[in-house]
Amino acid sequence: MHVYILRHGEAAWSIPDHARELTKSGRENTQLVAQQLNQTAVSLDMMIVSPYVRAQQTAEIVLQSQAGTPALRTSNAIVPEGNPGEVMEMLAEIDVDRVMLVSHQPLVSQLIHLMSSGAPNGKAAPNGMASDIPPMLTSSLAYLTLSQCVPGYADLHWIKSPPDFIELKRL
């Protein structure tokens, strides 16, 4: 299984947290990610998206760049305080080749760590971030492949943030 984990684009600060919307910069950076997926012919079979407004808006931008129409699922399992183990269980239940999760920190870092190292709950640092992977900035995209949908069986190929996509676009 090919798994793309996308952290939502930059969002304005407001209360309540679940209602925060993307900023202009957040939309633009997410568009760069979407363009890169399109240029590299990544065709998603499914997108699983947090119910938070900023994640839904991020997914909408990516969906517009897809040649096909991936199945779309909204899941409360991938909100910021979600449990990475439960997300792994959810992934084990789906039968697709390419899936994208659109979610939040600290879950995205914890999930990447759990998938690639097998450490429970992402072996988070005191700030809630998994300590030995590159940071997942807003609009960052991680690409992993899973030989088995169990903790520790994923290969983390890369994590790219918006500056990386700008450089790729210039080439």
Mean per-residue pLDDT pooled into runs of 10, the chain (171 residues): 97 92 96 88 94 98 90 97 95 96 95 86 47 82 92 91 64 35
Q: Going from the N-terminus, what domains does the chain have, and what CATH number goes with each?
A: 2-170 (3.40.50.1240)
pLDDT at site 71: 94
Q: How many CB atoms lie within 10 A of CB 117?
A: 17
Q: How many CB atoms lie within 10 A of CB 1?
A: 18
pLDDT at site 171: 35
pLDDT at site 132: 65
SS (HEC) of the chain: CEEEEEECCCECCCCCHHHCCECHHHHHHHHHHHHHHHHCCCCCCEEEECCCHHHHHHHHHHHHHCCCCCEEEECHHHCCCCCHHHHHHHHHCCCCCEEEEEECCCHHHHHHHHHHHCCHHHHECCCCCECCCCCCCCCCEEEEEECCCCCCCEEEEEEECHHHHHHHHHC
Whether the link from the prior residue into 106 is cis, omega within 30° of 0, is yes
pLDDT at site 166: 61
pLDDT at site 167: 52
Q: What is the pTM of this model?
A: 0.90
Q: Distance between CA 109 and CA 85 in Å, rounded?
A: 13
pLDDT at site 86: 96
